Amino acid sequence: MENIDNSIINSVYPIPASDVIYLRFARTGQTRVEILDITGSLHNSWKPMIPKCLRSIFPICPMEYTSISIQEGKVGLGKFTKNKHPQ
């Protein structure tokens, strides 16, 4: 648990989200982001190269999700709620 450092991620928004989420990181660098549901199942994973990123969450179902951001060996945790079912 010593690798958890929420200072690497400034925000995950909007909450609740319908189609996209925005992530803003405190610094640039090699980053990996993973989106997991409440059961721990991985729904999305990507490697943004800029301190702000936008990601479509359209195909996932409404519920709470955890975002895990890994940067320079540190892990930042965030959460968001998807409130709209894919049409």
Quickly state the pLDDT bin for 63 (edges 50, 70, 90).
Answer: very high
Q: How many CA atoms, within 13 angstroms, populate the side-chain half-sphere of residue 39?
A: 4
Number of compact structural domains in the chain: 1
Residue 1 inside a domain? The answer is no
Residue 87 inside a domain? The answer is no
CA 46 vs CA 9, 35, 62, 79, 85: distances in Å: 15, 9, 21, 16, 22
How many other C-beta atoms can be found within 10 angstroms of the C-beta atom of residue 8?
19
Mean pLDDT of the chain: 87
Strand order in the sheet with 52-56: 9-13, 20-25, 52-56
Range of the domain at 16: 6-82
pLDDT tens digits for 5-38? 878 887 888 889 989 999 998 888 889 999 999 9
**CATH code at position 14:** 2.60.40.1220
